[in-house]
Amino acid sequence: MADPRGFMKSPRRVAERRPVGERIHDWNEVYPGGVGKALLPIITEQAGRCMDCGIPFCHQGCPLGNLIPEWNDLVWRDDWADAIDRLHATNNFPEFTGRLCPAPCETACVVGINREPVTIKNVEVAIIDVAWERQNVKPEAPEWLTGKTVAVVGSGPAGLAAAQQLTRAGHTVAVYERDDKAGGLLRYGIPEFKMEKVHVDRRINQMEREGTVFRTGVAVGKDITGSQLRDRYDAVVLAMGATVRRELDVPGREFAGIHQAMEYLPQANRVALGQTVEDQILATDKDVVIIGGGDTGADCLGTAIRQGARSVTSLEIMPRPSDERPSAHPWPTYPMVYRVASAHEEGGERVYSVSTKEFVGEDGNVSGLRLVEVEFKDGRFSEVPGSEQVIPAQLVLLAMGFTGPETDGIVAQLGVELDERGNIARDSTYMSNVDGVFVAGDAGRGQSLIVWAIAEGRAAAAGVDGFLSGSTNLPYPIPPTARPLMV
Amino acid sequence: MLSPHQVRPTEGLYDPQNEHDACGVAFVATLTGQASNDIVVKGLTALRNLDHRGAVGAEENTGDGAGILLQTPDRFLREVAGVDLPPVGEYAAGMAFLPLDPAEAESARQKLEGIAAEEGLRVLGWREVPVNPDILGSMARQVLPSFALMFVAAASGNLAGIELDRLAFALRKRSEHELGVYFPSLSSRTLVYKGMLTTDQLDNFFPDLRDDRLESALAIVHSRFSTNTFPSWSLAHPFRFVAHNGEINTARGNRNWMRAREATLASSLIPGDLNRLFPICDPHGSDTASFDEVLELLHLGGRSLPHAVMMMIPEAWENNDVMDPARRAFYEFHATVMEPWDGPAAVCFTDGTQIGAVLDRNGLRPGRFWITEDGLVVLASEAGVLDLDPKTITRKGRLEPGKMFLIDLDERRVIEDDEIKSGLAGEQPYEDWLYSGLVRFEDLPDLEHIVHTHASVTRRQQVFGYTEEELRILIAPIARTGAEALGSMGTDTPIAGISDRPRLIFDYFSQMFAQVTNPPLDAIREEVVTSLAGTIGPEGNLLEPSPASCRMLQLPFPVIDNDELAKIRHMNRDGDMPGFAIHIVRGLYDVHGGGVALKAKLDEICADVSQAVENGARIILLSDRHSNADLAPIPSLLLTGAVHHHMVREKLRSQAGLLVEAGDVREVHHVALLIGYGATAVNPYLALETAEDLAREQVYVEGVEPRNAVRNLVKGLGKGVLKVMSKIGISTVASYTGAQIFDCVGLSQDVIDAYFTGTSSPLGGVGLDVIAQEVAARHAKAYPTQGISSDRRHLEVGGEYQWRREGPEHLFDPETVFRLQHSTRTGRYDIFKQYTSRVDDQSERLMTLRGLFDFKKGLRAPISIDEVEPVSEIVKRFSTGAMSYGSISEEAHTTLAIAMNRLGAKSNTGEGGEDAERLYDPERRSSIKQVASGRFGVTSEYLTNSDDIQIKMAQGAKPGEGGQLPGQKVHPWVAKTRHSTPGVGLISPPPHHDIYSIEDLKQLIHDLKNANPQARIHVKLVSEVGVGTVAAGVAKAKSDVVLISGHDGGTGASPLTSLKHAGGPWELGLAETQQTLLLNGLRDRIVVQTDGQLKTGRDVIIAALLGAEEYGFATAPLVVSGCIMMRVCHLDTCPVGVATQNKELRAKFSGKAEYVVNFFEFIAQEVRELLAELGFRSLDEAIGHAELLDTRAAIEHWKAGGLDLSPIFHVPDVAETLNTSGARHCTTTQDHGLADALDNELIALAADALERGEPVRAQLEIRNVNRTVGTMLGHEVTKRYRAEGLPENTIDLIFLGSAGQSFGAFVPRGITLRLEGDANDYVAKGLSGGRVIVRPPREAQFTAEAQIVAGNVIGFGATAGEIYLRGKVGERFCVRNSGATAVVEGVGDHACEYMTGGRVVILGRTGRNVAAGMSGGTAYVLDLDESLVNREMVELRPVEGEVADMLRSMVQKHFEETGSAVAEQLLGAWEQSVTRFTEIMPTNYRLILEAQQQAAAEGLSEEETTARMMEVAARG
C-alpha cells in the first residue's frame, strides 16, 4: 500500500495554474504545459496520502469503480506503467475525467472526513498524461472478430466508451456523429482552456486504429433512418445525449443577443481551434450575463473573458452555497458547496438568490435584465418585495441545463419508449423495449456527469456483448438504476 | 436399548464424535511386589480424592466414568469364581459387558464360547458379577449392561502370561467386532472394573471392590470429566493397558494410518491371519481407546510396553542437540515407522508387572509422585490424593515433559528415564540402520533451476483464479519477509458455501482449534517441542521392524520448492533406487465435461494409483501442471483427498508416499489442508513462481532477490502450517499429516464421504458438479471461449480483505457504513431501517447463513407491539465486545462504556485491565472484566469490582492464538492499566497457562468466583463443529454464562489465515450449543450469549430463536463511533481516532455516547417489532424457538441450493432424555460450592482484621480438596481496602498439609499464607500484593531442595507480592509475572516465560527454555546452565553491585521465611555465592530502564521520562 502515514505527514496540494493575466490571453489549458505535467513535482507525495482503506469510499463514489487505492499506490511507487494499466481497467478515457469530472471520489475520500481529501483527480490525470507522453497508450485491436456489427449513435463519452469496449470485444462498430468531428460535447461544448482538443483527437485516433469506424457529419434520423440502422447492424446503441436545453420563458426572450450556452460555446471553441465561424456570437466589449451557476456557466464565463467582455455577471437562483459541507450532505455524499473553477478566478461577478423577471431590450437587441431577489424556503422560491433592479447586458447566455433527449427523429422512428421523466427507458442490460436497441448515457439517464456517461457506455457494452454473444466478460460497472449515494 | 459401548446417536447438530474428556488419574503400587488389599483400598481412596477433577452432569448421580485396574486378583477369583482355575497366569479373566436381557446375554455367552474355541481357548466358566444398580442415575441405568466374568485357558498346552493374552486378544477383538460384546479387559495379568459411575459409586456399584480378599500390588484409577453427559460404560478408563488424562488431538489421522498399515501387518507372535482382528482401532472408540488398542497391538506383537509407549509418545527429540546419539537414532528410526500420537497427555500404563507413566512432549498435564520408606509409590494428577506421613516420604517428584517414570515390580525398583531409554536405544543398531537406509535431502544432487516467464506465470495465475489482491496481500508479504501479513476487523464476506463467486475448494474448510479441552501451543516461544520434519517412502511391517523400515527420504520441511521436487523426481531416474520409484498423476480433466468428467477422472486416477503401487511405485506425485484450453486442473485438495482416502481404503497408503505439486496453493491454509488430508509434502509451484516473478518484476516485492523471495515463501508457508497445527495443540507435522483437523460448511455428504471421509459437514452442500462449475469459471478466464479476454484485467481485483466494488459483497460496505453512521448521529430511525434492510435483505446477495433463514409466520398469532416488553428491558441484554484499552483509544473505549452504563447494558474491558480511575466511576466503568491468557491487569481489585468476569478461551478472529503488543504501542497509560512498563512489549500466550483441560477451566471458574462471589463468570468460546459439547462441559464446569462467538469477529490484529479460515458462523455454533445443552438437561443453569457481526434487530431475533439470551456487538458500535473499517488497527494509523493511541489521531475521534445509545435503542426497537410479528411479548418467550425458523423459500442459488439448514432449526425433544424443567433458557443458577470453602472459616477468623485492621494469626489443617484457599478472604480485604490492601502480614495464617490447586490465588496485600506441606498447581496465581510461603513439613526427613514442593504454573500473572518456595517446582514458574518477587529452589521447563516484570530467584536447576518470550523483569539463577536459556529476547550478566545486595536480601528473606538450607549455605559464604549467580534480563527492558534512570538523574518530569522510554522502545 501507499505510505501508511502519508496523510498525516503531507498536506493536500494541487498544481499551480498559470497567472490569470497570462492565461486569459490564450485558449490553452490553464496549467503550464497541461495539468498532468504541472502536477508531476507533487503528485507522488499526494498519491502517498491515500490510506488504502478497508472500505475505499472513493471507489464507491466513482461510478466507474476506479481502482483508486491501487493506482495511488502505484504512483507512489513510481510504477507509472502499471498505474495506467490499472486506471484503464475501469476507465476508457481518464484524460477526460481527469480534467472535467467534479470528482465525487474526492468528496467520498475517507481522508476527507477530518482532513483535506486526496487529490484523486489529479493523480488520475497525471497517470494518463504521463502515459501518453511515454507512448504507453497503444491501440488494442482485437485478435479475433465476431462478425457482429454495432451502430453507436452519438460520439460523446458514453458512445465512445461503448464503442471502444465493443470494438475491443471483437465486434465491428460504427459511431455516428452529426457534427463534423467526433467527440460530442467534449469536442465543441468544452472550452480549450479546460481540455485541449488534442486529447480528444488522440483518443479518436486510437479508436480508429483499433477498428472503430467513425461516420461523422451523418445525422441519424435524417440522413439515415432508424429502420435502416436496424437493418444494417446487429445492434444499435443510442448514446446521443440529453441535448434539449432548458429555456427561460420570460418576457423579452425574443430579443437578439440572448443565446443558449450551447449556441455560444461551440462557436468559440471552433474559432479557438482555428476554424472560422460566420456571425459568431461574441462577448467582446459587452456586458455579459450568464444565467446558471454550473460548470457550463463557468465555461461561458472563461470564454467571455477571453473574448474581451466588458463585464461578466453570473446569476444563480439558489443561495450561495456554504464553504463547508452542509449537514444535509454528510460525508461521503456529494455536497453542495461553494466551488471556484479556474474561470471564476479570472473575473466576473457571481450573484446569488436572484431570478430574472424579464429581458429589457433596445431595437430588438437585449440591453438588460430585470432581476428580483428571491428567498428559498421550504422548497419554494418567493420574491423579496422591493428588490427589483435592472442590470445592463448586451449578451445573455442561458446555461440552465438540459431536460432530456431529442424525441423526434430516431427515437420516434425506432419506437423506443420513454420513462416518466422523458428519458429513454431500458432494462438492466441497457436494452430498450426494442430488441437489439440499447441506450447509454444521458439519453437514458438524463443530464449527468461525464463519469456516469462513461460508466453507462461501458455497462451498456456489456449488455450488447451479452446480447450478441450469449455471454460476456465485459465489465458492468453500474446498473442503469444506480444513483449517487444520498441521504 | 443402547448397548453399553454405543454412544448417543447424532441428532441435529450434536455429533458424539465431538466429545472430549479430561480427567484425574492416579496409580498406587508397592515396590515390594507383594499383592495386598491395602493397595486396592489406597487406589480407591486416591480416586475419591480426585473427585473434583471429574464431573457430573444434570444428574448428580450419573458420573462421567470411573474405574480401577488391578493385577489379576488370583486369591479372590479362586474363592469366588466357583470355577476350578489353573495356576495363576495360566488363565485369563475378564468382565464382559453383556446385554441386560438374560436370554440375549445367554446367547452372547454361547457365541463367545464358540469364538473362544476357534481361537484355541477353553472356557473355564463364568461368574455373575454382583452389582448395585440402585445407586445409579437414570442416564447410567438407561444403558446399563449386565456383567459376567469369563475365565479362559489355552485349549492345549499350558500357555501363560502374554502368550495366553495373545489368544485372549483375538477372542476379545472378535467378540467386539462380531458380537458387539465389550470387555474392559481380558487378560491373565490384569483385571479392570469400570463404568459410567462417579468416583464414589465405583466400589458401591461393584461390591467386589470392597472385598478384602481382593489383592493387587498395583492399582490404576481414573476419574473422567467428559464435556458431555453422554459418556458410555465402555469409554470409562482404565482401558486394558492405560489410563489417560488428556486428549490425543491427532487420533483421527492416527486411526487412518493404522487402518492403512493393516495391509502390511504380520506377526509371528500372534497366531493366525491378523485380518480377522481388523480394524485394530474401533472407529467409534475414544482417542484413548484407540491409543490403547494400538499400544496393545505393539505390545502383544513383541515390543515391551515402555518401548511401545516411547514410539507413540516420543519426547521432543528433534531439536534437542544434546541428546545421546543412540537415543536420537532410536527416535528417528521410529519416526519412520509411526507418527506420534500427539496431544496433551499424562498416560499411566501397566502390563501387570511394570507400571509407569509418561507425559507428552509439552508437559501440559500435571503428574506428581511420592515414594515412601516402605516402598509405596503413589503417582497422581495432583498432590495430596493419599495422606502420607511426611516423615516416611523418601522421594517426591513430578512427571516431566517427555520423560517416563517406570516401576518394575519383579525387579522391585524404580527404573529411571535414562536407564529405560538407553536400554531400549541399545537393543538395535539404529544408527547403522539409519545410515544405510535414510536418504537425506541434502545428499541429492543439485539440478538446473527453471525460470518461468511472466506471461506463463500470468496465464496460469488466471487458470487458478489468482487475484491481484492475493498477490499483494497474501503472497508478496511472505515473499518479502517470510511471515504472513496481519489484518484486522474480522471478516464480513460470504463463506464459500453461499458465495456467489467461484471459490477454491479450500475455502469450504475451516481449521479447528483448541479451546478448553486441550491447550493450543506457542509454536514461536516453545519451538523446542515442535517439528516440521517428515519422511516419505513406503512403510514396512509395523510389527517386525528391520533396517528396511527406514528406507525413506527425509524431508526437513513440509513445503518444498520446485528444485527440490525435481530432485525427488530424479531420484530413481536410472532405476537404481527402486525404493523411491515415482509415479506421476496428472490431475487434469476435461473441463467441458463438467462434474461427470471430473468424477470419472478421479475414479480413473484412483485405479491408476492402485496399479502403480502394485507395479512398484513408492512415491505418488499428484500434479496439476500442464493444463490447457481443454484440460483444467482438478482442485488439488480434492485430488489429494480422493487419492489418500482411496489408498487408505485399499490399505495401500502406507506402501507409498504422497507428494502434491499444486498450482492452486497460495496461502498457509491451503498447505495445511493438503497436509491435513494426507500429503506428505506440498510443492506450491505457482505461488513460488509468482513470488519469483514479483521479485523479478519488482512489483510488491522490492529489493528481494528472486531466489530469496522463493525461500521466504517456502519458509513462511511452512511456519504458517506450524502455527495452524499449534492452534489445535499438535507439535509435529508427522502427526498432523492426514489428521483432518478441519470442519466443512457447504460440501455435500457425497463429496465428503468419497474424498474427505470422516470430516464433519453438518449442512451438506455442493457436489462435484458445482465444484466443476467453479473450476470452469476460473478456467474460462484464462481460456475465454471467444479467445478474447476483454475486461483488461490480467487478474481479478479481489476484494476479500478490503472491500472492492467488483469483489465479493461485504456486510459493511460504503452504503451500510454511511447509513448506520448517519442514522445514529442524527437519531433518524427511518434511515436506520434503510441500513438494516440493506444488511438483512439477502435475497439477491447472499452473505450469511442467517440471510438464508426465514421466519415461519402464522404458527403464532402476531400481537400488538404495545404488548411487547419495552426498549429499556431489551437493551439490558446487550453488551459491547471485548476490545482492550490499548487496541482502541481511551476516547472510543470510554464512549462505549458510558453508553452501555446509561442503557443499563454492559461494556467489556477487553484484555488489559481497567484504570483505577474508571474502576470506581459508575459512569465510565466497564461492567464485564475480561480475563485472557496474558492476565494483564487482572488483580484482586479488578475482579472485585466486576459485575461479570469473562474468561476468553478463544476469539473469533484468531481462535487458538495469542497476541502481541509491540513495545512502541505500550504507551504509558496502557502500561499503567496492564501493570507493565511503558515501551516494554507484551505477549499474550496462545493458551491460558492455567487451563490445559476442562477440569482446569472448572478450577479457574472456581478461582474467579472466589475472587468475587457476586460476579457472573462467563466463558467465551468460538463457534466450530463440536463447540456444543465444549459448552456442555463449560456448563458442567459451573460457568454462569457461555458465549458463542462467530468466526467473523473483529480484532486489532490477526494473521490473515486465522481471520479467514478458522472457526465457524455463530448460527451453527449457537444452535449446536443450544441443542447439546438441552439434550444434557443443562440449559436451565447457564446463560447463553452470542456475538459475531451482529448488526440488526433481525440478527438478534435469530440469535434468540436459536437459543441465545444475551447479545454482543462490537464492530457496529465502533462504526457508530466513527470507525470506517480502515482495517489498519494493527498499524496505529486509524484516521478517525478509534483504534489508535496516537494523540493527533485520537483528537479526530468523533463518536459520542448518544450515538451508541441511539444504535442500541434502534436495535431494540427493531427487536420489538419482530417480536410482535412473531407473537412474543418478550425475548424470554422467544428464546430457543428455532422451530419458527425456516429456509428462505425464494432463494434459488447455484450453490446455496444444496444446503440443508434443518439441523440448525432442530429442537430436541427434551422430555424423552432427562427429567429436567425443559426450559429453553436459563431459569436457575449454578451451585458453585462456595459454601464448603475453607475461606468461609478464614473470613470468620479474620473478622478483626477485616473490620478494624487488627492483626490476626491462626493455624489450620489443609487438604487437596481445599481449593483456591485465601482468595475469597482476599476479596473481602479488597472490597474494604481497595488496591492498597492492609499492612503486610496483618492476616497471617499457617496451613498444615497438602493444599489443593490455586493456593493463594489473587491474594492482596496484608495477607500472608504459610503452607507447611506441599501444594498443587497454580500457587499464587494473580498474586496481588499478598505473600505465599510453602515449605515442607517440619518433620520431613527428605532433603527439601531435592524434592518437589509445589506444582506447575506458579505465580501466573502475579502483579505484586512475594512467593517463597522451599523445594523444587514444576513447569512454567512465574509465567507472565509482572510484579511479584519469587524465590524457589529448582524449576521445570519454560521458567519465567512471557514475564513482563517482577523478580525471580532460582536457587537450583532449571529445565529447558528459560525466559522464552520474557520481555520484562529479571531472574537470578544459581549455577545457570546457559544452554537452557531461550536467548531470543534476553541477555545474561553476572550479578554485581547494588543488584548483588538486593539479591542477598532476597535470599536472606527466603531463609528467614522457609528455613531453607540452600539459602543458609549461600549466605554463609556470600562473596563466593554471588559469583555463582547469573542475571537474566530482557535487553529492551534493560535499555528502557536505563533510559528511565538516566532521565531521573537529569531530573526530568514524569512525562519527559516516559517520552524517553518510548523513544527507546521505538528504536527497539
pLDDT digits (tens, 9 = 90+) for B909-938: 998 899 989 999 999 999 999 999 999 999
Residues 698-717 on B with a CB inside 8 Å of A are: 699, 702
Q: How far apart are CA A154 and CA A239, in angstroms?
A: 5
The arithmetic mean of pLDDT across residues B1124-1146, rounded, is 91
Residue of B nearest to A79 (CA): B699
| Contact list, A70 vs chain B (CB under 8 Å) | 468, 797
Asked about B281 being catalytic, the answer comes back as no
Residue type, B323: M
| Contact list, B489 vs chain A (CB under 8 Å) | 54
Q: How many CB atoms lie within 10 A of CB B456?
A: 12
Q: Output A133 or B231, whichever has higher pLDDT.
A: A133
The arithmetic mean of pLDDT across residues B717-746, rounded, is 94
CB contact (8 A) between residue A55 and residue B814: yes
Pairs of residues, one from chain A and one from chain B, whose beta carbons lie less than 8 Å apart: 126
The packing angle between helices B1027-1036 and B998-1011, to 10°, is: 50
Torsion of CA B756, B758, B762, B764, to 10 degrees: 40
Q: How far apart are CA B650 and CA B648, in angstroms?
A: 5
Put simply, whether B1127 touches A (Cβ < 8 Å) is: yes
The arithmetic mean of pLDDT across residues A456-463, rounded, is 98
CB contact (8 A) between residue B1128 and residue A60: no
Residue B357 main-chain phi, psi, to 5 deg = -150, 150
Task: Determine the residue among A3, A5, A59, A469 to mutate to test chain B binding: the one whose Cβ has the most chain B Cβ atoms within 10 Å.
Answer: A59
Task: Determine the residue among A8, A10, A50, A53 to mutate to test chain B binding: the one whose Cβ has the most chain B Cβ atoms within 10 Å.
Answer: A53
Q: Which residues pair with B380 in a beta bridge?
A: B26, B368
Q: What is the DSSP string of B1352-1373?
A: SSTTTT--EEEEEESSB--SST
Residue of B nearest to A475 (CA): B791
CB contact (8 A) between residue A53 and residue B1125: yes
Q: Output B4 or B993, whichever has higher pLDDT.
A: B993
| Per-residue b or e along A83-106, where b marks 16 or more CB atoms closer than 10 Å to that residue's CB | bbbbbbbbbbbbbbbbbbbbbbbb
| Contact list, A168 vs chain B (CB under 8 Å) | 788, 790
pLDDT at B1351: 95
Catalytic choice (B23, B281, B744, B1129) = B23
Q: How many CB atoms lie within 10 A of CB B922?
A: 8
Q: How many CB atoms lie within 10 A of CB B440?
A: 11
Residue B225 has pLDDT above 90, yes or no: no
Residues 772-791 on B with a CB inside 8 Å of A are: 781, 784-791
Residue of A nearest to B1135 (CA): A111
The arithmetic mean of pLDDT across residues B319-340, rounded, is 93
Residue B1050 has pLDDT above 80, yes or no: no
Q: How far apart are CA B1500 and CA B1492, in angstroms?
A: 9
Q: How many CB atoms lie within 10 A of CB B1221?
A: 13
Q: Which residues contact B436 (CB under 8 A, 6 or more apart)?
A: B547
Q: How far apart are CA B1198 and CA B1184, in angstroms?
A: 31
Three-state DSSP state, B1026: coil
Torsion of CA B1093, B1099, B1104, B1107, to 10 degrees: -50
Q: Are A72 and A87 in contact (CB under 8 A)?
A: no
Q: How far apart are CA B1414 and CA B989, in angstroms?
A: 11
| Contact list, A88 vs chain B (CB under 8 Å) | 792
| Contact list, A333 vs chain B (CB under 8 Å) | 818
Q: What confidence tens digit (pLDDT) does each residue in B1430-1441 have? A: 999 999 999 999
Residue B580 has pLDDT above 70, yes or no: yes
Q: Are B1417 and B1435 in contact (CB under 8 A)?
A: no
Within its chain, how far is the Cα of A418 from the centroid?
23
pLDDT at B1: 32
Our CA-based measurement puts residue B791 at a distance from the nearest CA of chain A, in whole angstroms, of 5
Q: What confidence tens digit (pLDDT) does each residue in A27-61 have? A: 999 998 888 888 989 999 999 999 999 999 999 99
Put simply, whether B831 touches A (Cβ < 8 Å) is: yes
Our CA-based measurement puts residue B1132 at a distance from the nearest CA of chain A, in whole angstroms, of 9
Of B468, B806, B814, the CB nearest to A485: B814
Strand B948-952 relative to strand B928-931: parallel, antiparallel, unpaired? parallel
The arithmetic mean of pLDDT across residues B311-336, rounded, is 93
Residue B790 has pLDDT above 70, yes or no: no
Question: What is the pLDDT confidence band of residue B788, given thresholds at 50, 70 and 90?
Answer: low
Q: How far apart are CA B1171 and CA B65, in angstroms?
A: 44
Put simply, whether B844 touches A (Cβ < 8 Å) is: no
Residue B702 main-chain phi, psi, to 5 deg = -100, 150
Residue B1293 has pLDDT above 60, yes or no: yes
What's the whole-number average pLDDT of chain B?
93
Q: How far apart are CA B1186 and CA B1090, in angstroms?
A: 15
Residue of A nearest to B812 (CA): A55
pLDDT at B382: 87
Three-state DSSP state, B213: coil
Residue B1215 has pLDDT above 80, yes or no: no
Residue type, B219: A
Residue A65 main-chain phi, psi, to 5 deg = 70, 35
Residues 453-482 on B with a CB inside 8 Å of A are: 468
Our CA-based measurement puts residue A334 at a distance from the nearest CA of chain B, in whole angstroms, of 13
Question: What is the pLDDT confidence band of residue B997, given thresholds at 50, 70 and 90?
Answer: confident
Residue of A nearest to B787 (CA): A144
| Locus of grid cell 449537514 | A327
pLDDT at B8: 59
Of A55, A143, A471, the CB nearest to B817: A55
Our CA-based measurement puts residue B862 at a distance from the nearest CA of chain A, in whole angstroms, of 33
Q: What confidence tens digit (pLDDT) does each residue in B453-482 have? A: 999 999 999 999 999 999 999 999 999 999
Q: How far apart are CA B272 and CA B267, in angstroms?
A: 9
Based on DSSP, count helices (H) and strands (E) in chain A, helices before strands: 19, 16
Our CA-based measurement puts residue B453 at a distance from the nearest CA of chain A, in whole angstroms, of 18
C-alpha cell at B1323: 500457587
CB contact (8 A) between residue A55 and residue B789: no
Q: Which contiguous run of DSSP H or E holds residue B853?
A: strand B853-855
Between the CA of residue B1225 and those of A292, B520, B1105, B1222, what are the distances in Å? Answer: 66, 31, 11, 9
Question: What is the pLDDT confidence band of residue B23, given thresholds at 50, 70 and 90?
Answer: confident
Question: What is the pLDDT confidence band of residue B5, given thresholds at 50, 70 and 90?
Answer: very low
Q: How far apart are CA B1037 and CA B52, in angstroms?
A: 10
Of A54, A88, A487, the CB nearest to B1127: A54
Nearest CA to B734 among B318, B339, B253? B339
Residue B631 main-chain phi, psi, to 5 deg = -100, 120
Put simply, whether B1136 touches A (Cβ < 8 Å) is: yes
C-alpha cell at B1270: 485465601
Q: How far apart are CA A399 and CA A260, in angstroms?
A: 6
Question: What is the pLDDT confidence band of residue B386, given thresholds at 50, 70 and 90?
Answer: very high
Q: How many CB atoms lie within 10 A of CB B653?
A: 27
Question: What is the pLDDT confidence band of residue B139, given thresholds at 50, 70 and 90?
Answer: confident
Question: What is the pLDDT confidence band of residue B2, given thresholds at 50, 70 and 90?
Answer: very low
Residue of A nearest to B783 (CA): A473
C-alpha cell at B760: 464433519
Q: How far apart are CA B1429 and CA B1482, in angstroms?
A: 12
Put simply, whether B1178 touches A (Cβ < 8 Å) is: no
Task: Say if residue B130 is preceded by a cis peptide, omega within 30 of 0.
Answer: no
Q: Are B1089 and B952 in contact (CB under 8 A)?
A: no
Q: How far apart are CA B116 and CA B113, in angstroms?
A: 5
Task: Determine the residue among B1124, B1128, B1136, B1149 to mutate to test chain A binding: the one whose Cβ has the most chain A Cβ atoms within 10 Å.
Answer: B1124
| Contact list, B1148 vs chain A (CB under 8 Å) | 113-114
Q: Which residues pair with A369 in a beta bridge?
A: A359, A391
Residue of A nearest to B810 (CA): A55
Residue type, B1131: L
Torsion of CA B1099, B1105, B1106, B1108, to 10 degrees: 80
C-alpha cell at A427: 432494462
CB contact (8 A) between residue B788 and residue A65: no
Burial of A317 (0-12, 13-18, 19+ CB in 10 A): middle
Question: What is the pLDDT confidence band of residue B887, given thresholds at 50, 70 and 90?
Answer: confident
Q: What confidence tens digit (pLDDT) does each residue in A350-359 have? A: 999 999 999 9
Residue A66 has pLDDT above 70, yes or no: yes
DSSP 8-state symbol, A220: B
Q: How far apart are CA B418 and CA B401, in angstroms?
A: 14
Model's pTM, two decimal places? 0.94
Between the CA of residue B1115 and those of B491, B878, B1163, what are the distances in Å? Answer: 11, 14, 14
Q: What confidence tens digit (pLDDT) does each residue in B1138-1159 have? A: 999 999 999 999 999 999 999 9
Half-sphere exposure of B1065 (CA within 13 A, CB side): 28
Residue B3 has pLDDT above 60, yes or no: no
Q: How far apart are CA B88 and CA B95, in angstroms?
A: 17
Residue B54 has pLDDT above 80, yes or no: no
The arithmetic mean of pLDDT across residues B530-543, rounded, is 91
CB contact (8 A) between residue B822 and residue A51: no
Nearest CA to B1351 among B1336, B1368, B1328, B1326? B1368
| Contact list, B778 vs chain A (CB under 8 Å) | none
User: Per DSSP, which regions of B277-418 are E strands?
Assistant: 345-350, 354-359, 368-372, 376-380, 393-398, 404-408, 413-415
State the Rg of chain A over Cα: 23
| Contact list, A469 vs chain B (CB under 8 Å) | 786
pLDDT at B490: 85
| Per-residue b or e along A442-461, where b marks 16 or more CB atoms closer than 10 Å to that residue's CB | bbbbbbbbbbbbbbbbbbbb
Q: What confidence tens digit (pLDDT) does each residue in B956-992 have? A: 878 888 888 888 888 888 898 998 889 988 888 999 9
Q: What confidence tens digit (pLDDT) does each residue in A87-126 have? A: 999 999 999 999 999 999 999 999 999 999 999 999 999 9
C-alpha cell at B513: 482449534
CB contact (8 A) between residue B802 and residue A165: no
CB contact (8 A) between residue B789 and residue A169: no
Our CA-based measurement puts residue B510 at a distance from the nearest CA of chain A, in whole angstroms, of 23
Between the CA of residue B777 and those of A471, B499, B541, B751, B807, what are the distances in Å? Answer: 12, 14, 46, 20, 15
Burial of B1280 (0-12, 13-18, 19+ CB in 10 A): middle
CB contact (8 A) between residue A5 and residue B1133: yes
Our CA-based measurement puts residue B456 at a distance from the nearest CA of chain A, in whole angstroms, of 18
